[in-house]
Every structure is written in C-alpha cells, then in structure tokens.
Structure 1
C-alpha cells in the first residue's frame, strides 16, 4: 500500500501479549497481503491485551466500497481466509479474542482508544479463555424421503391412498426428529463432562450446511480445556457410535470465535459451569 494514501486500521483480534509474539506478527500477512503490527495498551507485561492490526487503503475498505465487495463471493472468500489465517497463527502462540471480519477504525489513534476503553473487559476475557480451544459438534439426520408406497388401487381410492401415504411420511419424519432431539441431549450431556461452556448456534441449511446427504439438526460450539481436548473428542465420537440414524461431526480445535465476547444475556444452554 502506498503510505501516502488515506488508510484505515483493520483489527483481526485481541491477543494476550506473550514472548515472541512481535516476531510472529512481523512474519504474517493479512487481508489484501498487508503486513501486521501490534497495538499495545499501557500494560506491557505478559497477558496484556494487544490489537493485531493492518493498515488498509481507505478507498477499498470504506463503507461504500465494502457494500459492493461483500457481494463479491470470490473477494469475500479470500478475505475471510486471510483473516482466519491470521487469527489461527496468533492462537498457536497465545490466547486470542477473534474479532469480526472487517473490524475497522478510522485511524490507529481511534483503535488505541477503543483498546484502552475496553482494556479490563478484554483482559478478563483473555484470562477466562486461556488454556482453552473451541470445538464444534454438528449432528445430521437423513434427508426426507417420499415415504412408503401407497396401497394398491383396488384397496382404496387414489385420494385416500395419497392421504395415507402423506400421514405415514409425516409420522416417520416426526419419529426421526424425536430421535434427533434425544440424540442431541445425549451429546450435550456427554460434552458437559469435559467442556467449560457451550454456545448453541442456529442449525444450518442450504449451502451453509455443506452436506447434501443430511439435514443439520444440531450446531453447537464448546469451549474445551486443552488438557481435556482428546477426551472430549473421544467421548463425543463414542457417544455418536451409539446413535442410530444420526451422523455426528466433530471439528476443531479452533480459536474461540464463539466465545470471544460475553453473551448479551443467559443463552439457551449457555454456561455449563466448570468442567469436573
């Protein structure tokens, strides 16, 4: 980027300062190939919150430009990947609070002001997330079928045959959803033995689901202590093996995207309490 061009400050994450973090950040490239730096708070000791930032051209990243760019799927995918790679590189070195894609400030001074104003909140959250990573647990049921064949025509009228077939199909689907609800509870109970917290995300549909062979019926994120990660995954996979008709995917470990900020209120199935 030409340093004479007007620029905005792009923030990837809040990170806990740790030895060697400056060197790691100095080797990274972020969105649009930009280099990264750290913006510190007044605290300089280990664990103090810092912003990982890039300087990006204002003409390409102002509100009007972003409105058009977010409709460009190619640009959006490349930008999201670059953002994620920065966050994961930071998470491999220290505790991070990932920020949303395209978190921007007009200049470095405004970014520093925001960091200072929220210093205590950031420090508290970083302390809570230290030594934890995020895992995803998704459950799928088979897609709906057309149901059983209708009775032969000589046994009933076409209209009655159709209604009977539809009722049988609906009953089968209802049974499948009841089975899925029971499976979800079993998975939640199992995860609670190892995870510190849970966030229940909306189930995915269409292209977001990423699976044409099943319907997503559970989409949870768990915050898991690092020393329990292997046990968490093994327990979920063992439980999944005993859930007929349900496929379970475990993803992670990830940087704690789902737990970067406190929930606005007591969420449905939120804090699980301390793992025991």
Structure 2
C-alpha cells in the first residue's frame, strides 16, 4: 500500500522522548524528521485515504473526521508537554520525506521566527455563555391574558428581560476579557460558537484565546477561577493549555510550495472536537470543519 507523509507540527529538536505508546492518525506512531535544525513530526498514512479525492469524501464523514481530529490533536498535545510545537493544519500530507524537507526549507525563516516568538508560551481558551433562562410555566386557564393587548404586553416584557440579560452578559464578558488580556502577551477574539454545532447549552458571548507564558499559567487559571461566580446566569469555560494554534496562523493559514493539504475549516473542527473531549463534542467540531472547509489538497 502506498503511503504519504502526514505532518502534525514543526518544532526545534528536543531531548525528551515522546511516549512509546503514542499513536497518531490511522494508528501510526509519530516519527521525527530532522532537517536544517528543525523537526517535522510525521507519520505514514495510506494514500487511499489521504489523496485529494479521498479527503473530499472524508470531509463529509463526521466519524472519520472526528477520529482524525482527535488523533492529530493527541500528537500535538504530547509535543506541547516537551517542547513548543507549531501545529500544521489537519490532513497536511506530502508525497515523501523529500517533499517534507522541501517544505521546511521554503518556510524555514517563518518557522524560526514563530518558534522564537512562541517559545515557552501556551494558549488558553476562555468561553463565556449566557445560561438558558428558566422556562416560564404554561399559564393556567384562569391566568391567561384577558385580551390580545395583555398578551402583547407580556411578550414585550419577556423580550425586554431577555435583552437586559444579554446586555449584562456582554458587560461581564467584556470585564473578564480586559482582566485576562492584562495577564496575557497576546489574545485572539474568535467568532462565537453556534450552539447547534458546539452542543454547549446557552449563548456563547465570549470565545477568546490568550497567549500566556508557561511560568504565568497558574496565575492566569486562578484569575479565571475567581471570576466564574461573579455574575449569576453566566458560565465560564477554560480550556488548555494548548499549543499556540491561534497565534501561529502564519504557518497553518497558508500552503507550502509543495501544496500541503488541509483546510482551515477542518483545523477549526479539530480544535473544537479536541477541546470537547467527548464524542459529541468531537462530532460537532468535525461538522463545523466540514461545513466551512475550503477543500483539501495534497503535497507532491
């Protein structure tokens, strides 16, 4: 069976070995490809599953996409414990090791610049949700509005109360973000998640990523924990530490001269699925990736 080289990330050489039992995409163990003082973390995947036509079909298969996303993220997570990786997009593949080396040479300056900037730093994700309001009981027959005017007045009151809750949530999210941004070196504001795709209850008010030095991560986490109960009806979710996905877009956001295969939508699906940890979350992340995928390619 013909194999392609799947690339998870690029990093500098590191001395601590990865776990012997670590497995990547399609169950293949990751390997280290050294070139020009950099390391590409790779594994071999079947061409039948990762050629261009096959990837287009797989992007519609939520189970396959979710499993691939989890395996990809598992390797990146393992790397994050021993070094600072630059994650590449989900399903970045090349014809062989020679093509991977060519990619490294073409992007060498970018890789080194980003590795210098991100060294010793991790990404933390923070989301704020406005919890669903308690459903009003169905009024008894005797308590039903006496007229259409009373009914409209009641509906306006409910709408006003919902608007007030939303404004309060936005103010809370803004205050929290300002505090966290002061403790972070950089931040990225992401589009609020669609509840139908994420599977999380409530309305997503804040969806942000923060770049934090490892040495200051404990303080950052404590700050988030202290604010969780400040406002009733709000839910704060903290995820991480992650590799700096949101801050290495210069790498994952463009294709190499060799035509590295991936889609930005698929990568966001990988993140969403990996953050959730559960099957339902992985599938919702995969669905988001599939719906926004620009279309895969293949390194030659």
Q: Which moves more between the two structures, 104-113 or 221-230? A: 104-113
The Cα shift of 1:108 comes to: 2.2
Residue deviations 1:91-118, cap 9 Å, x none? Answer: 1111101111101123322221111111
Gaps of 5+ in 1: 265-276
Matched, 1:123 2:112: yes
CA 1:130–1:114 in structure 2 vs 1: closer, same or farther (change >3 Å)? Answer: same
Q: Which moves more between the two structures, 192-201 or 141-150? A: 141-150
Residue deviations 1:106-144, cap 9 Å, x none? Answer: 332222111111111111111111111111111111225
CA 1:12–1:156 in structure 2 vs 1: closer, same or farther (change >3 Å)? Answer: closer
CA 1:240–1:35 in structure 2 vs 1: closer, same or farther (change >3 Å)? Answer: closer
How is 1:1-276 mapped onto 2 (pairs within 5 angstroms)? Answer: 5-20=1-16, 23-24=17-18, 28-42=22-36, 44=37, 49-144=38-133, 158-212=147-201, 214-262=202-250
CA 1:26–1:41 in structure 2 vs 1: closer, same or farther (change >3 Å)? Answer: farther
Distance in 1 (alpha carbons) for counterparts of 2:43 and 2:207:
32
Distance in 2 (alpha carbons) for counterparts of 1:26 and 1:155:
68
Partner of 1:272: none
Partner of 1:269: none
Distance in 2 (alpha carbons) for counterparts of 1:210 and 1:229:
28
Distance in 2 (alpha carbons) for counterparts of 1:111 and 1:163:
65
The Cα shift of 1:26 comes to: 6.8
Q: Alignment partner of 1:193: what SS?
A: helix
CA 1:153–1:65 in structure 2 vs 1: closer, same or farther (change >3 Å)? Answer: same
In the superposition, the TM-score normalised over structure 2's length comes to 0.76
The Cα shift of 1:179 comes to: 0.5
| Number of aligned positions between the proteins | 252
Bigger Cα Rg: 1
Distance in 2 (alpha carbons) for counterparts of 1:262 and 1:6:
31
In the superposition, the TM-score normalised over structure 1's length comes to 0.82
Q: Alignment partner of 1:118: what SS?
A: helix
The Cα shift of 1:154 comes to: 9.7
Distance in 2 (alpha carbons) for counterparts of 1:146 and 1:53:
51
Distance in 2 (alpha carbons) for counterparts of 1:155 and 1:33:
61
CA 1:244–1:154 in structure 2 vs 1: closer, same or farther (change >3 Å)? Answer: closer
Runs of 4+ in 1 over 4 A off after TM superposition: 144-150, 152-157
Q: Alignment partner of 1:56: what SS?
A: strand
